Structure 1
Amino acid sequence: MIIQFHLLDKRSNTFTKVYFEGWNDRAPFFTNDPKKAKQYWQKKQAEEDMELLKWAQSPIAITLSIKLVQ
């Protein structure tokens, strides 16, 4: 399971799909490649990260959805 984000880029008005890769100190970082995304083996751990990621904000993108995908 991996965490997938659907974003609206404010600069180009395009929709983007990115995947959660990990934490850099307290800031999350993302990738466009689903193979590089952090793999979760337990749903509980993924849900904990999703709760923290709901608070992450970007000055150049609007989060449309966050979901757990296989």
Structure 2
Amino acid sequence: MRLSELSVGDHGVISDITGLPPEQRKRLVALGLLPNTPVQLIRRAPLGDPIQIRLRGGDLAIQKRIANCVEVCLK
């Protein structure tokens, strides 16, 4: 399942990040999006992009196209 497919309030665990250029992948890793990291979808913007996620005690807004590259397993 993709991070962008979670419903608001759903919890998951990041399993992989695929389909991004190396620079964007490095940036996500620097922001804490690592495999085996618990994540929760907090909200979506009114038009669906960006989405707000909570991980490692902080909130992060990411574009939907990037969230499509993050695979998660539901908790």
TM-score range, shorter chain: 0.3 to 0.5
Tell me the TM-score normalized by structure 2: 0.33
* Max Rg structure: 1
Q: Which has the higher strand share?
A: 1
Tell me the TM-score normalized by structure 1: 0.34
